[in-house]
Amino acid sequence: MRHAPVQVAPGLCYGRTDLPADGEMTRQAARALAGQLPLKARMFVSPLQRCELLAQHLRGLRPDMIQNTDPRLREMHFGAWEGRPWADIPRADVDAWVAGFAHARPGGDGARRWTS
């Protein structure tokens, strides 16, 4: 399951930036999901606060669940694009990233691949 929408201006490029998620929408998502998961379900969670918050709410509703926080699940890093409006990023740069997605580093050399 994906976290609730983050509290950030629409159209902003963010990935690894640790932004908070909407609290009420996170609680709603946890309530909707809690009854659908099997007993003692195991969660694998990114350490970013928007993901941890959802896991905390789920565990509050379902203390039987087992949480595994895994830093490998953090969102990809967008390098120099991180925190910039998508509209300010040259379309040619985005197209080049998409064309070589498996190996490209969005936002330039400062970005780390998502597998790091």
CA distance 88 to 12: 9
Whole-number Cα distances in Å, 108 to 19, 80, 92, 104: 22, 6, 13, 9
* pLDDT in the model for residue 114: 40
* pLDDT in the model for residue 109: 55
Q: Which amino acid is at 72?
A: R
State the DSSP H helix or E strand holding residue 24, giving kind and residue range, or none if neither. Answer: helix 23-34
Structural domains present in the chain: 23-99 (3.40.50.1240)
Q: Which stretches of the chain drop beneath a pLDDT of 50?
A: 110-116
State the DSSP H helix or E strand holding residue 59, giving kind and residue range, or none if neither. Answer: helix 49-61
* pLDDT in the model for residue 29: 96
* pLDDT in the model for residue 1: 84
Count of CA atoms in the C-beta half-sphere (13 A) of 50: 21
